[in-house]
Homo-oligomer: A and B are copies of this chain.
Amino acid sequence: MTTLFDTTTVPAVNVTAGTGPLVIGLDIALVTSGVAGPGWANHFRTTGLAGEDRLQHIVDTAAGYYRNADLVLIEGAAYSMAKQVGHDEMSAARWMIRCDLRRRRIPFAVVTPDSRTIYATGRARWKDEETGKKLTPRQVKGKVRDEAARRYGIVFDGTARFDQADAYVLMAMGMDWLGYSLAEVPKTHSRALKGVAWPTQTVAVAR
């Protein structure tokens, strides 16, 4: 676990770790994936693996986290990813997890990258305030991480900081949707919740 509570600046958030429903956020990728639950964020890698081995490892590891979850949020594919390196293997990773979740009867929602960014930062496409040029994906990721860190008082550190922050935001969205929001978020941000394909089946926790 590379992420800890930020003990220097304790924000006004409802720390529900262990008390509320167990919601898991997943930011799945081929080499570095992020996972988060209420109050914590983590990540795992697939160094040295490839092909079927790599996929299997991703599913197994992720499953270890969401095994007892009440709700899982997984980031959906971005259209721009098509025709690019490893895109089909990644589609597979995500669908395999979805199938596994279905088999386990764990309710899950697929969140688009846009929705995630909006929930975290209030806007999907950012431009530099000075130059007016659109921010690189990298810079946007940074924004997401910063906002999440500030709002939830979590320190996202290390190489996988973006992936962990992503996962955390996803998880926070799920908590919010269930009525256990981890922090107050402006309407500009929370509007992203209605863009999500929420599960129709009843979630174990009353909303």
Contacts and interface: CB of A to CB of B under 8 A. Distances in A.
Contact of A96 (B77, B96, B103): B96
A52 B98 CA distance: 7
Contacts of A92: 91-92, 94-96
Nearest to A91: B88
Nearest to A99: B52
A91 B83 CA distance: 12
Contacts of A96: 92, 95-96, 99
A70 to B, nearest CB: 19
A56 interface: yes
Given A52-B102, A55-B99, A88-B88, 7 more contacts: A52-B98, A77-B88, A89-B91, A89-B95, A91-B92, A92-B96, A96-B99
A53 interface: yes
Contacts of A143: none
A10 interface: no
Q: Is the interface of A mostly helix, strand, loop or mixed?
A: helix
Interface in A45-63: 51-53, 55-56
A94 B91 CA distance: 11
A74 to B, nearest CB: 12
A141 interface: no
A100 to B, nearest CB: 9
Contacts of A77: 88
- The interface centre, meaning the residue of A51, A53, A55, A92 with most chain B CB atoms within 10 A of its CB, is A92
Nearest to A100: B52
A123 interface: no
Contact of A52 (B52, B88, B95): B95
A87 interface: yes
A138 B82 CA distance: 25
Contact of A55 (B56, B87, B95): B95
Nearest to A89: B95
- The interface centre, meaning the residue of A79, A94, A102, A103 with most chain B CB atoms within 10 A of its CB, is A102
